[in-house]
Structure 1
Amino acid sequence: MDSDRARGVLLGLACGDALGRPVEFSSATQIEAKHGQLTEMVGYGAWNQPAGTITDDTEQALCIVRSIAEQQGFDPADIAERFVAWYDSGPFDIGRMTMRSLSRLKHGDEWDEAGQHVWEQSREGQNAGNGSVMRCPPLTIPYANDWEQLVEVSRQSSRITHADPRCTYGCAILNLTVAGLLDDADTPLQDALDYVGTDAPDELLTALRPLARHESPDTLETSGYVVHSLQTALHDGLFAESADEAIVTAVNRGGDTDTIGAIAGAVAGARFGATQLPDRWLSAIDESDELEALAGELVEVA
């Protein structure tokens, strides 16, 4: 496996997350009025944090990565415990379904029960958020060459907090696409869609098939709905001409900027490699060195 591309998955995710953090919830028009085009790590704004601060996207991804490195493989119960410890630390940003699921885990649910219970108790429109797809790309590195296992661990990772099939299969399709990019595949998204076939929800397949044909939808939404987030982030991650263009484009669309930026960043990082991410971004993120080291450990696990 190309170690530069593997490092790109983790560091690209963090760059998109940190660049998008200060403008989360802003519209594209509001971002343009304040920043022109946001291309630099800036401080404060949403969540009132210093420049380069990561959010729950990267923090949960780190829980997954640290677990895999220490356990030498995917252990969903261990990851769930790490999520709960992170939840108990008082993060400034946490999604509603994640919070409800982790609360249930803390009070006795098993790793494969909490997310299911929360999903069953949530109405349509509040039951398929992007909180699991934003953190899942690191799973690709140790399982890139075993697609059957990659689909299984991707879906199980999602189920800890997000059990809706649009979320579980969203994680699987995203990670299969990233795996294809790590292997320099010509048609990574189409290969991913072919692999999951009709098992994945129609709504997800309908949104992503045009991208696999390299067609841009008339409208790209930036809400926290998992189908919107994946369509927009995969579009920008796969269609851009450079890693920084993918992330900047995704973030400047507005909306759920940190998560869409994180997903697009992971995809672009797998395409172009860590060396193509701007040094000025990486130096602003305190966790960059740990992410780089952990990427190497995940390659060793693979």
Structure 2
Amino acid sequence: MTPKQTETSLEDRITGALVGAAVGDALGGPVEGYSPDQILERHGGRVHGIVGPWNGEAWRTARPVAPYHKGDGHVTDDTLMTHALVRVYDRVRDHLDAYAIADHLVPDLMTTPRWIPELEAEALPLHRIFLAEKWLVARLHYGHLDPREAGAGNIVNCGAAMYMAPVGLVNAANPAGAYAEALDIAGAHQSSYGREAAAVFAAAVAAACAPGATPDSVVSTALSLAKDGTRTAIEQVCEVASRHTDFESALAPLREAVAPFDTVGPDYRHPSLAARRPSRLHAIEELPVALGMLTVSGGDYRHAVLGSVNYGRDCDSTATMAGALAGALGSPVPEAWSKTVAEASRLDLWEPATTLTEVTREIFQRDVRRRRAHESAFADLGGPRCSD
């Protein structure tokens, strides 16, 4: 049943989105990179909650994920980057741009040791994030590139999209504003359809925060803003998703629908030669599938996240996005899951939401003052015209 979004406060939506994203991330981590059939065989059925590492106690040395302890409720770099972006908002207390990424996010990744759940140790976040995220440090700190253009040349993937939920939340109920802000921010990290996906995901989160929002309204908003292959991929995946009400029957059809737009290819761990290169015809896989699972589930958090997890491939990022969207719609995150993830990851999953809610209210008030100043100046110019 779709939650009663009109009864959900801003704080509840921000909390639902950020906690929901972290829990989805933790559930997807241990099966990331595998196919639905491999997941089914490994777990003797579908994953229905928090599970242990794929290789059991051999996780420290087993390739290809060693030395990361994926599973047992540990969040991955998706959540580490999301929380880092919240900290940037907390420092700036206003809308962000690519320069804020260079001035604040990069130093945060490089200079402040934090608890890294998958390493079971304190370390610089830089030592955990993926190579596509290390690009931020290489290009902005060492390369001194223009932050607005630094994403060019990076592999095109979901690296920027996976942590853009805070942008949508700061722009709650203003999808166009979220799209524009995320597009600027993501220019420091990604280009092409990776940058586009970051902007569309932020817009979708903002749309999910609107009173009365539904999965259909979220998808419609995403389609109204998305460009090129990203738009077509979302349209075709969600069209297929609308024919299903259970993730099990949707797993293969959603993959079939997104495959023409996905450059990685059928073997996730052995990408094709054309993988992750700029294109106007292609899209990342994770965002269309997350929106598809949101559609299949009718906005139900548990269903959307479990569908994303059992889809496999880059399922921690897919479940991060689906979890953020369902949480923003107001569907409750199972308390048993959030409690286990918080304890296992040794992270306060609720504190970033409290911080971001406070910052969001401040930014809104600043936006109101700026808008009124503009209205006043425009009126002084004789701008308003009364229609006959």
Fold conserved between structures, TM > 0.5: yes
For 1:50 and 1:178, the matched residues in 2 are separated by 26
Superposed, which structure 2 residues align to 1:79-158 within 5 Å?
79-80=101-102, 81-86=104-109, 89-91=124-126, 93-107=128-142, 108-116=144-152, 118-119=153-154, 127-158=155-186
Q: Shift of the alpha carbon at 1:151?
A: 1.9
Aligned-partner residue type, residue 161 of structure 2: V
- Paired residue for 2:320? 262
- Paired residue for 1:208? 234
Q: Shift of the alpha carbon at 1:74?
A: 2.6
CA contact (8 A) 1:14 1:262 kept: yes
Q: Shift of the alpha carbon at 1:283?
A: 0.9
Of residues 14, 17, 23, the one that matches 1:15 is 23
Deviation by residue 1:265-290 (Cα, 9 ceiling, x = unmatched): 111111234xx111111112223132
Normalised to the residue count of structure 2, the TM-score between the two structures is: 0.67
SS in 1 for 2:307: helix
Q: Shift of the alpha carbon at 1:84?
A: 4.6
Aligned-partner residue type, residue 175 of structure 1: A
Q: Shift of the alpha carbon at 1:49?
A: 4.3
Of residues 155, 169, 174, the one that matches 2:201 is 174
CA contact (8 A) 2:21 2:79 kept: yes
Aligned-partner residue type, residue 295 of structure 2: L
Q: Percent identity?
A: 23
- Paired residue for 1:57? 78
Q: Shift of the alpha carbon at 1:70?
A: 2.5
- Paired residue for 2:307? 249
- Paired residue for 1:296? 357
Aligned residues: 287
Question: Kindly tell me: are residues 20 and 93 of structure 1, through their superposed partners in 2, closer, same or farther at Cα, counting changes over 3 Å?
Answer: farther
Of residues 41, 45, 51, the one that matches 2:50 is 41
The structure with the greater share of residues assigned to helix is: 1
For 2:71 and 2:233, the matched residues in 1 are separated by 35
**1:287 aligned to 2:295?**
no
For 2:238 and 2:254, the matched residues in 1 are separated by 16
> Relative contact order (alpha carbons < 8 A, sep ≥ 6): 1 or 2 greater?
1
Aligned-partner residue type, residue 288 of structure 2: Q
Superposed, which structure 2 residues align to 1:68-83 within 5 Å?
68-76=89-97, 77-80=99-102, 81-83=104-106
CA RMSD of aligned residues (A): 2.6
Aligned-partner residue type, residue 85 of structure 1: D
- Paired residue for 1:124? none
**1:236 aligned to 2:297?**
no
- Paired residue for 2:189? 161
SS in 1 for 2:183: helix
For 1:99 and 1:243, the matched residues in 2 are separated by 31
Q: Shift of the alpha carbon at 1:90?
A: 4.9
For 2:173 and 2:350, the matched residues in 1 are separated by 26
Answer with 144-153 or 132-141: which moved more: 144-153
Question: Kindly tell me: are residues 110 and 161 of structure 1, through their superposed partners in 2, closer, same or farther at Cα, counting changes over 3 Å?
Answer: same
Q: Could you list the runs of 5+ residues in structure 1 that have no partner in the other structure?
A: 120-126
Answer with 204-213 or 51-60: which moved more: 204-213
Aligned-partner residue type, residue 209 of structure 1: E
CA contact (8 A) 2:238 2:295 kept: no
Normalised to the residue count of structure 1, the TM-score between the two structures is: 0.84
- Paired residue for 1:122? none
SS in 2 for 1:162: coil
Question: Kindly tell me: are residues 85 and 67 of structure 1, through their superposed partners in 2, closer, same or farther at Cα, counting changes over 3 Å?
Answer: closer
For 2:46 and 2:38, the matched residues in 1 are separated by 11
Aligned-partner residue type, residue 315 of structure 2: T
Question: Kindly tell me: are residues 145 and 264 of structure 1, through their superposed partners in 2, closer, same or farther at Cα, counting changes over 3 Å?
Answer: closer
- Paired residue for 1:27? 35
Structure index of larger Rg: 2
